[in-house]
Amino acid sequence: MITLPDSIAWLLNIRGADIERNPVPQAFAFLHKSGAVDLFAGATKADAIADHLGTDVTVNDIAEFTAAVARLTGTVQIDPKSAPQAVGNALTATVAHAPDPCLLPKAIKTEVEIAGARAAAQRDGVAMVRFLAWLDEQAPKGQLTEIDVVKKLETFRRETNALRDISFETICGAGAHGAIVHYRVTEDTNAPVKTGELLLVDSGGQYVDGTTDITRTIIVGEPTDEHRMCYTRVLQGMIALSRAQFPKGVGGQHLDALARFPLWSAGMDYDHGTGHGIGSYLSVHEGPQGISRRSTVPLEVGMIVSNEPGYYRDGAFGIRIENLITVVPVPKGIDDRDMLAFETLTLVPLDRRLIDLSLICRTEQDWIDQYHRDTVSLLGSHVDGVTADWLVSACAPL
């Protein structure tokens, strides 16, 4: 019994619009041992895709689901972590508990899905560059609010002519609001974007070929020494995870400390996971893999995760830097072990004004410079005029 909408969307290669910001249908499904599927969805919702679903998929009205559950016989497998309690209550068949069988194969992206993720990241990166260039020009004038920033960023994404929706409500925290990890601006909380303050913008897009999630922290005007120190330590953690090479079988639990160590060295930390899985034109938060103290699932080639360490000073500012990375194989080492590493999918300029060169080592500086060269190479031909000039300047060598 499949009860997660994104699992059903992946299993049948369908999408929907029943859940805001998530391109999935509200549905349930029985996956039989034969491979046949009973799909329970809104009446007539699947009429237009009957040919796609084929004869192995029987479509039923979702209103009939509970009664159908009660009629099941034999052994029925459900995932106790995601199945609604009402499903368990309705079942009279023998119940077997096991993880949703779609979770792991859905998380391990195919070559086509990885290529789509790269294409979506490039398209989204162009929108982000246009946005950051606009922000650098307009923010110092002192006329912008958080809502202005959110609306303008969504405009740039829509102008790609490929955006199906944003992938979650944009987090845009100016000054002290940046320290609220899941802050959502409202008309009542809408704050001005002030000179001398940090602005944290966490956002993403849903495209047919991929889902994006990116965070950039930007200084408006000149940063303080404290801004630069905190930003640099967060950046060092992001770089450490980006550069990680590790044996096959290692889970995110083992890698989480890499992103925290530069902060720990200064007695600092953050109270959220370092990374979460990303869907392929599906949910922006996808399991079972992740980068956190709780993430025991081994990372496998094709998985995509976010890399987003941060630091938050209550009442003052917040810093988070986020790229999407995917697991790739690397040549075996001395011990002939199967080794893995990360490829960075997100290429968008970092704020060089916030980097304290006295804190970073030569290897980190080289990584940043190469990252910026790659950014210009990937995005430069897709922007022009003032934006192109801004991109070259923003990506200049440290």
| Contact between residue 348 and residue 216 where contact means Cβ atoms under 8 Å apart | yes
CATH number (domain holding residue 159): 3.90.230.10
Query: Mind spelling out the 3-state secondary structure of 280-323?
Result: CCCCCCEEEEEECCCCCCECCCCCEEEECCEEEECCCEEEECEE
Could you tell me the sign of the dihedral formed by the alpha carbons of 216, 307, 119, 341, in that order? positive
Question: Containing domain of residue 22, as a range?
Answer: 5-101
The predicted pLDDT at position 340 comes to 98
- What is the rounded average pLDDT of the residues 234-250? 98
| Average pLDDT score, the chain | 97
Rounded distance between C-alpha atoms, residue 170 and residue 147, angstroms: 10
Considering the domain architecture, whether residues 73 and 129 belong to the same structural domain is answered as no
Is residue 96 domain-shared with residue 185, that is, in the same domain? no
Residue 333's pLDDT is 83
Q: What tens digit of pLDDT does each residue of 140-162 get?
A: 999 999 999 999 999 999 999 99
Q: Which residues pair with 19 in a beta bridge?
A: 22
Residues 71 and 197 in one domain: no
Q: Which of 306, 326, 328, 308 is nearest to 318 (CA)?
A: 308
Residues 117 and 218 occupy one common structural domain: yes
Q: How many domains does the chain have?
A: 2
Same domain flag for 131 and 64: no
Residue that is last in its domain, among 47, 73, 101: 101
Q: Give the helix ranges, DSSP H, for the chain.
A: 5-12, 50-53, 65-71, 85-90, 103-107, 111-138, 146-158, 225-242, 252-264, 362-379, 385-394
Q: How much is the pLDDT for 43?
A: 84
pLDDT, mean of residues 34-62? 94
The two structure tokens encoding residue 284:
């922006």
pTM: 0.96
Same domain for 153 and 24, yes or no, is no
Length of the chain: 398
> Does 96 share its domain with 212?
no
Decide which of 101, 136, 160 is a domain's last residue: 101
Alpha carbon distances (Å) from 95 to 21, 44, 46, 159, 301: 33, 31, 29, 49, 33
Is residue 72 domain-shared with residue 124, that is, in the same domain? no
For the stretch 177-220, pLDDT in tens is: 999 999 999 999 999 999 999 999 999 999 999 999 999 999 99
Which tokens hold the place of 97?
């508990």
Tell me, yes or no, whether 264 and 189 share the same domain.
Answer: yes
